[in-house]
Structure 1
């Protein structure tokens, strides 16, 4: 019987790659404390430090067969925990920026309301121009942009060739771009 606590890291990794749960447990017991201390020193939050350590070991187990060590196991684990810490810190920065942005949005709600009124007016103008398209072109365009059907699906539904569908969509976009400009049309399409 193998005494796992006496094995070197590279032996434990070999057993781990073969799916040996006892080797995994030994790696976990050997490194969890050090990795937690490192994570806690950087994050200053027990729950986040616990989470990154557990996430690391979960990934270590699920991706054990694909694991390739360029260095010692300790270096690999240290780098992996460092990357996870950086991800958490980056996520916090994004979250913080989002909260600042949200507060700014709330503070500027009157400007937003004015913007929405203009956006709705523009959408109504674009809808008016879409309804002025030739009937078949309009039908194809609306199926493409509003119903989100592929050219193939539209062709099958309307008994047309895919090339004809593509031509109708391109012509409709060309007409709308000519009237409103590319950016306006793209913004409108992305909202519908």
Structure 2
């Protein structure tokens, strides 16, 4: 019997795609705590972080025959957690936005909320920081995050290798994470769901 602890992530993914409970168990043991800490840091709530990670692993098991891990298993799992957190933030934002808007409307007869002003200011700050990226990096980043092109499509568009595209997107995210500081996670939400 194979020692699943010694297998590399890619081998575990292959076994998982073939329905291996043992491979799933090893992935769970290997990544649960790491994903939980990441989610906990972003959500600042133990139960929400636990729920997010459990949901990601539930979906991983339910969709094992069709999962596509393009870069690495860790990247796939971290992206899945990030997307779940974005959904939570959006749901909370909608609830909070509605409550704030209603309260302000009742108090002042206006639908303009302080949150909308903050969102607008934050959107402007994000666009300013993206505009400050080096030209080639900015173009690649915008094709990736705003036009949602694949790395391959971007590589063909700007006539560079896929590796260069990946590196440029990684470097752009690194710069923006530094520039936007603690608001970086909110930045990701605005990139995928821009303020209109």
What TM-score range do you get, normalising by the shorter chain? Answer: 0.5 to 0.7
Distance across 2 between alignment mates of 1:22 and 1:99: 46
CA shift digits 1:126-177 (9 cap, x unpaired): xxxxxxxxxxxxxxxxxxxxxxxxxxxxxxxxxxxxxxxxxxxxxxxxxxxx
- 2:147 matched residue in structure 1: none
Is 2:80 the counterpart of 1:53?
no
- 1:71 matched residue in structure 2: 71
Distance across 2 between alignment mates of 1:85 and 1:42: 8
List runs of 5+ in structure 2 lacking aligned partners.
110-196
TM (norm. structure 1) is 0.53
Distance across 2 between alignment mates of 1:96 and 1:67: 34
Distance across 1 between alignment mates of 2:5 and 2:105: 57
- 2:28 matched residue in structure 1: 28
Distance across 1 between alignment mates of 2:28 and 2:95: 31
SS of residue paired to 2:47: helix
Is 2:112 the counterpart of 1:86?
no
Aligned alpha-carbon RMSD (Å): 1.7
Larger radius of gyration: 1
SS of residue paired to 1:19: coil
Deviation, structure 1 residue 106: 5.6
Runs of 4+ in 1 over 6 A off after TM superposition: none
- 2:163 matched residue in structure 1: none
Deviation, structure 1 residue 86: 1.4
- 2:101 matched residue in structure 1: 101
Deviation, structure 1 residue 101: 3.0
Distance across 2 between alignment mates of 1:18 and 1:42: 33
Aligned residues: 109
Is 2:11 the counterpart of 1:18?
no
CA shift digits 1:38-67 (9 cap, x unpaired): 000010000110011001000101111111
TM (norm. structure 2) is 0.52
Distance across 1 between alignment mates of 2:99 and 2:29: 39
Distance across 1 between alignment mates of 2:102 and 2:26: 46
